[in-house]
Structure 1
């Protein structure tokens, strides 16, 4: 089962990490495989920067693709060089969500 998690509110970081952790545990317990992606757009893009207190390496180390919206980066004056290692820049977060849903990904937004 493929799933995309979406965060666009900075206050939701604890919830999204909890949701992903719970999803991964249950998927493992039920022997369900598939791709897992986290899309970051809007204000949480600031926490995708290197040196942030939000350690996205915890997710990428688990094989989760962490995608960041280029439009949000531009609006917050963030460049790819500013990001934590291992993140994928996508042209537009809304397009990434639509594309993944069209590909059959389940959409989860805490």
Structure 2
């Protein structure tokens, strides 16, 4: 089951950082496979940078695609070189969400 999590509010970091591992554990226990993606747009893109207190390494290591909106990066003056390793920059977060939903991904917004 392909699933995309959407984060556009920095106050939701604790929720998304617990929801995704919980989802992965439940999917594994149920024998359900599929792609999992976290799409970050808006102000939280600054938290995806090197040196942030938000550590995205565990998600990347678990096979989660962590996608960052290029438009939000530009709005918040974040360069691709500033991002934590292993993240994927997408041209527009809203298009990424629509594309994934069109592809059949379940949409979760913590």
TM-score by length of 1: 0.99
Q: Which residue of 1 aligns with 2:83?
A: 83
For structure 1, the residue ranges without an aligned partner over 5 or more in a row are none
- C-alpha deviation, 1:80, in angstroms: 0.3
- C-alpha deviation, 1:36, in angstroms: 0.2
In the aligned structure 2, how far is the partner of 1:62 from the partner of 1:18? 13
Q: Which residue of 2 aligns with 1:48?
A: 48
Superposed CA offset, 1:45-100 (max 9, x none): 01000011100111000010000000000001111001000000000000000000
TM-score by length of 2: 0.99
Superposed CA offset, 1:5-44 (max 9, x none): 0000000000001111111111011000000000000010
In the aligned structure 1, how far is the partner of 2:89 from the partner of 2:21? 23
Q: Which residue of 2 aligns with 1:100?
A: 100
